[in-house]
Amino acid sequence: MKLKHLTFSAMMAASSAVLMFLSTAIPFFELTLSAAAGLCPLAAMLYGKSRRAGLLTWACASVLGLVLFAGRQAPVLYLCIFGLYPTLKSLCETQRHRKLSFLLKLLSANAGFWASVLLFYLIFPAILESYNGVLLPMAVTFNVFFLLYDFFLTRVAMRLAVMISRMKQ
């Protein structure tokens, strides 16, 4: 990995941490800013033209978020769903069969959802006890919003790729 790609990945990890901080400062936008922080590994992956750059950004930002904002929901959402999904999405979309690609993306998103539920249970056990009967409807709702998120992430990735190619010139 070139030094400029490593530097850009580090800047994107710091940007993700700033967005997670903002989500703790403005709790109303916690989910939105966590999803926005997920665009930083996507930008690093597009700039470095490798999934490794996206994974590096995700790992650094996840550790930063968990250490700096312990006990908050945003780092867990970033770690399990929003930070990792753009890289997994690019990996799943290398499949030739669109149905298999879609199924892999859906499985990876649901695995992230249930991993976040498990982490929330370990970190915030009192909160999840009150959600006992609502986990299945939450999972169904998550899948609906995931479809929208995947659709818009594709559009944002295309625009981001254009912006990064102009930036490199």
Average pLDDT over residues 1-5: 81
Distance CA 133, CA 124 (A): 17
| Whether pLDDT at 143 is above 80 | yes
Closest CA to 48 of 11, 94, 99, 92: 11
Confidence bin at 19 (pLDDT 50/70/90): very high
Q: Is the separation of the CB atoms in 16 and 40 below 8 Å?
A: yes
3-168 folds as Arp2/3 complex 21 kDa subunit ARPC3 (1.10.1760)
Dihedral sign computed on CA atoms, order 21, 71, 114, 88: positive
pLDDT at 92: 87
Q: What are phi and psi of 93, to 5 degrees?
A: -80, 0
Average pLDDT over residues 48-75: 87
Grouping H, G, I as helix, E, B as strand and the rest as coil, residue 135 is helix
- Residue 122 has a CB neighbour count (10 Å cut-off) of 10
Confidence bin at 61 (pLDDT 50/70/90): very high
Closest CA to 19 of 50, 67, 64: 64
Distance CA 125, CA 112 (A): 18
Average pLDDT over residues 105-124: 88
Q: Which residues make Cβ contacts (< 8 Å) with residue 125, sequence separation at least 6?
A: none
pTM: 0.84
Distance CA 80, CA 7 (A): 24
